[in-house]
Homo-oligomer: A and B are copies of this chain.
């Protein structure tokens, strides 16, 4: 296999993680809770060679760290790599993209006036099918990993395609690039063109097992990359396939599950038609009940969209402790609807953000956070004033919320001892008295800071006008995986 050589090297790199002790100094911002950011200024975070945070100290400068923190950790002073954020810069947890189709990346922005079902046939299935060509798959997957890393996405829940080899290649490339990922081979054995679907439920399950085996082999501890059971969505999976996937989910309780739910009203009608409760033994004729009937609505399940869920469905999702990936860019772009995130959160349903490329047009979780805030205001326009999501709330969804959605709540999403160092260094642009941006070419950016802003205002400016230019460096599990030149 032509692609195995670089993979082998990459695994070594990933397993050794950063390979050195590191000390990060400066300002740190993360979510204390849903509606509150924590600002740690003049602080120090120590990260061990495995990429785990072993100390968070405040106040603490380099001198104090060397005098107190390093000795306590038993670290030799000359065996520590020190990273100091410049004034105004801050470390922020890496973003978690809880739903995106790596295979659709080349189509971002290309959707015309379509909605879900015609969008799939017109734009999506032909592109996904074409990635059975390994050189094209390598080109596209290399790019989507590099691009999302550059936007600060340290963990991505990817859908690949039906094709096993290129799905495995995506996992290989994630390991090589050092991006934490869930990688799912897409299961679909009906209602798509003959050129792009699993031949039978049995073939789909065998292909799924093959991909799980590959990913488990390249990252045996699932330290960086995990396989994820991926029934595309109910309409494209036959009942036998759904049943088989439910059995697989029970057989492999360490695996997450991802699928779509209730994105579009025509889709919902189609599910009702395809899966009458009498045939599945479902609780009722709702979309959520279909997944539940097949054992796929679990506390490991990531449900993308959930735009048009009924009260009863949301209660069922809450009862099963399944998670929701909110994809505002996609829901607006292909006119799916405006998801009621506050309503889901009030039901204690765990929510994160997804770019949902290429239903969503942007590779940026920051853009998804911005749109989540804006779409919540469109929900509020309908009369529910408290639907509005704040800057603090959308950043929670982008980090800690997303971490919980992908099953990594204890591992990433904040700066706490025992969690991994999945982080980004954020820098904004300072405007001087002449209206010029200070600093060199590296300061080219879209966020102008005049100097009189509070820290929460700086963060709001980042959320509303920031982009990948503000993400100066990105680390996953302590390893530097992206740096702006």
Whether A390 sits at the interface, judged by CB under 8 Å, is yes
Contacts of A464 in B (CB 8 A): 108-109, 333, 361-362
Contact between B465 and A108 (Cβ–Cβ < 8 Å)? yes
Q: Mark A283-312, 1 if CB is under 8 A from B, else 0.
A: 000000000000000000000000000000
In contact, B465 and A362 (Cβ under 8 angstroms):
yes
With known contacts A108-B461, A108-B465, A142-B435, A335–B446 Cβ distance under 8 A: no
Contact with B along A353-393 (1 / 0, CB 8 A): 00000000111100000010110011011000000101000
Interface-located stretch among A132-140, A239-247, A249-257: A132-140
B434→A142 contact, CB < 8 A = yes
B435/A143 in contact, CB under 8 A: yes
Which residues in B have their C-beta under 8 angstroms from that of A109? 447, 457, 460-465
Which residues of chain B come closer than 8 Å to A362, judged between CB atoms? 464-465
Q: Chain A 427-455, CB within 8 Å of chain B: the 1/0 string?
A: 00001111110000100001110101100
Are the CB atoms of B112 and A461 closer together than 8 Å? no
With A433-B135, A465-B361 already in contact, the answer to whether A390 and B113 are too (CB < 8 A) is yes
A332 within 8 A of B: yes
Q: Is A110 engaged at the interface, CB distance under 8 Å to the other chain? A: yes
Residue of B110, B140, B141, B462 near A457 (CB, 8 A) is: B110
- Give the distance in Å from the alpha carbon of A448 to the alpha carbon of B361 in the complex: 12
**Residue pair B332, A377 in contact (C-beta under 8 Å):** yes
Asked if A106 is at the interface (CB within 8 A of a chain B CB), the reply is yes
Cβ of A96: which chain B residues have Cβ within 8 Å of it?
none
A48 to B450, CA, bound (A): 40
Q: Given B141, B334, B453, B457, which contacts A435 in the complex, CB threshold below 8 Å?
A: B141
For A105-135 the 0/1 string (1 means CB < 8 A from B) is 1101110110000000000000000000001
Q: Is the CB of A139 within 8 A of B434?
A: yes
- Alpha-carbon separation in the docked complex, A362 to B113 (Å): 25
B435 touches A138 (CB 8 A): yes
CB closest chain-B residue, reference A389: B113
Q: Are A139 and B108 in contact (CB under 8 A)?
A: no
- Whether A378 pairs with B332 at a CB distance below 8 angstroms is yes
A383-434 residues at the B interface, CB under 8 angstroms: 388, 390, 431-434
* Residue in B closest to A329 when the chains form the complex, CB atoms: B374
Q: Is A45 at the interface (CB under 8 A from chain B)?
A: no
Q: Which residue of B lies closest to A151 (CB)?
A: B446
Q: In whole angstroms, how far apart are the Cα atoms of A334 and B385 in the complex?
A: 12
Chain B residues in 8 Å Cβ range of A373: 333
A262→B463 CA distance, assembly (Å): 28
- In the assembled complex, the Cα of A320 lies from the Cα of B436 at a distance in Å of 42
Q: Which residue in chain B gives the minimum CB-CB distance to A454?
A: B110
Residue of B nearest to A431 (CB): B143
> A189 in the interface, Cβ–Cβ < 8 Å?
no
Any chain B CB within 8 A of the CB of A467? yes
**Within the assembled complex, what's the spacing in Å between the Cα atoms of A172 and B109?**
39
Q: Is the CB of B374 within 8 A of A332?
A: yes
Residue among A108, A333, A377, A468 having the largest count of chain B Cβ atoms under 10 Å: A377
Given A143-B435, A435-B146, check contact A388 B468 (CB 8 Å). Answer: no
A467 to B469, CA, bound (A): 11
Chain B residues contacting A363 (CB-CB under 8 Å) are 446, 465
Knowing that A106-B450, A110-B457, A363-B465 touch, tell me 16 more A-B residue pairs with CB under 8 angstroms. A105-B448, A106-B448, A108-B461, A109-B457, A138-B434, A139-B435, A139-B450, A143-B431, A146-B435, A332-B378, A335-B380, A361-B465, A362-B464, A364-B446, A441-B485, A446-B467
8 residue pairs A–B, Cβ–Cβ below 8 Å: A105-B448, A109-B447, A109-B461, A138-B435, A142-B435, A332-B374, A338-B381, A446-B467
Q: Which A residues are closer than 8 A to B by beta carbons? A: 105-106, 108-110, 112-113, 135, 138-143, 146-147, 332-335, 337-338, 361-364, 371, 373-374, 377-378, 380-381, 388, 390, 431-436, 441, 446-448, 450, 452-453, 457, 460-465, 467-469, 485
